[in-house]
């Protein structure tokens, strides 16, 4: 099953590359703040970058409606009893979404720190969001997720004064399983740290859409 998925993921990767699209696979446990961060990102960067979203959930269109309210193009994929998106689901979603060339596609995966880590979707980068409302040992409890991520976003830092959470311990655990992982600490609610996240997206988008050759990002 994984071998078949990986073959289809390579097709997706070629599809993105042929259109100069940066695809970001965003994963987390439920409630870590994926949708809130996407809403804020789209509103703040929407005039700078063409962003569209693939929403993955077991049921409802609630998150897609939240994203659509920002003015962003979005397609909802409901997995039913499934606990993750796979390459076939994404390919079908992309046909409906039809994102423009030289743009950014954010894939908000089903909230789960296990299954989504196993399935390559053809994305250009994997991002895992953890929050300070979870335990600071998440990276060593779910090592495969953090091992395969390029970036860890530590969200809800505005709550640190009220929660027994050690940023230092969480980051150390993340780098224990993935020494090269980058960490950005932010609050999607207060806005703290968001500019570092936006700069990361800009740098990745410029590399993918060929901005250095004179083309505009949008």
- What are the pLDDT tens digits along the chain (218 aa)? 889 999 999 999 999 999 999 999 999 999 999 999 999 999 999 999 999 999 999 999 999 999 999 999 999 999 999 999 999 999 999 999 999 999 999 999 999 999 999 999 999 999 999 999 999 999 999 999 999 999 999 999 999 999 999 999 999 999 999 999 999 999 999 999 999 999 999 999 999 976 444 344 45
Domain 2-209 adopts which CATH fold?
Rossmann fold (3.40.50)
Distance CA 204, CA 18 (A): 16
Here the tokens at position 76 are: 């909802």
Distance CA 61, CA 70 (A): 15
Give SS3 for 153. strand
pLDDT of 216: 46
Burial of residue 59 (number of CB atoms within 10 Å: 0-12, 13-18, 19+)? exposed
pLDDT of 36: 98
Here the tokens at position 117 are: 């880590």
pLDDT of 1: 83
Beta-carbon contacts of residue 140 (< 8 Å; ≥ 6 apart) = 173, 176, 177
pLDDT of 182: 98
Which sequence spans correspond to the domains of the chain?
2-209
CB 56 within 8 A of CB 107: yes
CB atoms within 10 A of CB 1: 8
Here the tokens at position 49 are: 């970058």
């Amino acid at each position: 099953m994984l071998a078949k998925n990986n073959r289809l993921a390579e097709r997706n990767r070629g599809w993105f590359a042929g259109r100069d699209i940066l695809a970001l696979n965003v994963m987390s446990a439920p409630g870590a703040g994926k949708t809130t961060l996407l809403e804020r990102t789209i509103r703040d960067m929407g005039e700078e970058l063409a962003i569209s979203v693939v929403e993955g959930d077991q049921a409802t269109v609630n998150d897609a409606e939240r994203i659509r309210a920002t003015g962003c193009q979005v397609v909802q994929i409901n997995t039913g009893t499934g606990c993750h998106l796979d390459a076939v689901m994404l390919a079908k979603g992309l046909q409906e979404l039809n994102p423009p060339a030289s743009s950014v596609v954010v894939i908000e995966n089903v909230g789960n720190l296990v299954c989504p880590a196993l399935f390559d979707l053809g994305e250009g980068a994997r991002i895992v969001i953890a929050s300070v409302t979870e335990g600071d040992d998440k990276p060593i409890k779910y090592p495969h997720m953090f091992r395969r991520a390029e970036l860890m976003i530590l969200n809800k830092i505005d709550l640190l004064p009220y929660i027994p959470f050690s940023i230092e311990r969480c980051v150390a655990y993340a780098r224990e399983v993935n020494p090269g992982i980058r960490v950005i600490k932010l609050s999607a609610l207060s806005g703290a740290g968001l500019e570092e996240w936006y700069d990361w997206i800009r740098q990745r988008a410029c590399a993918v859409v060929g901005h250095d050759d004179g083309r505009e990002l949008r």
